[in-house]
Amino acid sequence: MVLTNSDYCAEQVKAYDPDRYLLSMFAPEASRDALFALFAFNLEIAKTREVVSETQLGLIRLQWWREAISEIYDSGIALEHEVLMALAGAIEKYDLPQEHFEKLIYAREFDLEDVLPGNIEGLINYADFTTTPLMKLAVKVAGGDDDVEPVQPVSVNYALAGLLRSVPHFARQRRCLLPEDLLKQHGQRMDKLYDLKPADGLPEVVEKVASLTVRGVRCDNRFLRKTQKLSEIYLKQIKGVKNDVFSPKLGAEPHFKVLRLAL
């Protein structure tokens, strides 16, 4: 069986970004192929650090995506790549702004620097820059007005919840996105974190980061509303293990996640 470009994107998102795949089920059915194209594109640029051996190669890879997106806007032609060809259709159908794609690609250059956010402001900026432009595109595709909906707070909430749950995953890659000043303040040495030996004070860092999220954000768009709700489900799960992001319990799905999301 030969997969269409849309099928390929859907499979990639389902396999590697299952939460956004699930959230797409709450968007109008007619918009899902475009959402999968957006999220598959995000996967491609987000994994850059993991698939290159040095910074310059990562910059070259991101530049390739930047130029490929520009070609779609300049000529309407997509290179022979499943994600780009699916994305070209989404861009044309929903009149998606090029600037959001450019911001997402630029934000991923930070990943190549292998530095921690210096403080809370740096973390919020990272969460914002790597997520809000994508969410603005997704909300537009899902029938919402990204200029009216509270896209930025929902995006930052979603990003922060995901980053907290991913602390062990990033640590295995010898990478961390928690604020450097907070880690030092609470006695977390980076070599110990990368050896999966969290300091006693790490839960306090997690609690502080979780407190930055905004609860109960009111959204009209259903896709955005479910995104906010999923963030709150994950934050509640983290709180339930006393902010111990290394707890094995966080490796399991929150109880009745899909049902709670659907209500």
With contact defined as beta carbons under 8 Å apart, do 58 and 120 qualify?
Answer: no
CA 26-30-36 angle, 5° bins: 70
Domains of the chain, with CATH numbers?
1-99 (no CATH), 115-263 (1.10.600.10)
In this prediction, residue 260 carries a pLDDT of: 96
Those residues of the chain that have pLDDT short of 50 are none
Residue 117 vs residues 33, 71, 174, 179, 260: alpha-carbon distances, Å? 34, 33, 15, 5, 33
The whole-model pTM stands at 0.96
- What pLDDT is stored for residue 74 in this prediction? 97
pLDDT of residue 116: 92
Confidence (pLDDT) at 1: 66
pLDDT at 3: 85
Per-residue confidence (pLDDT) for residue 153, from 0 to 100:
98
Classify residue 253 by burial, with Cβ atoms within 10 Å: 0-12, 13-18, 19+: exposed
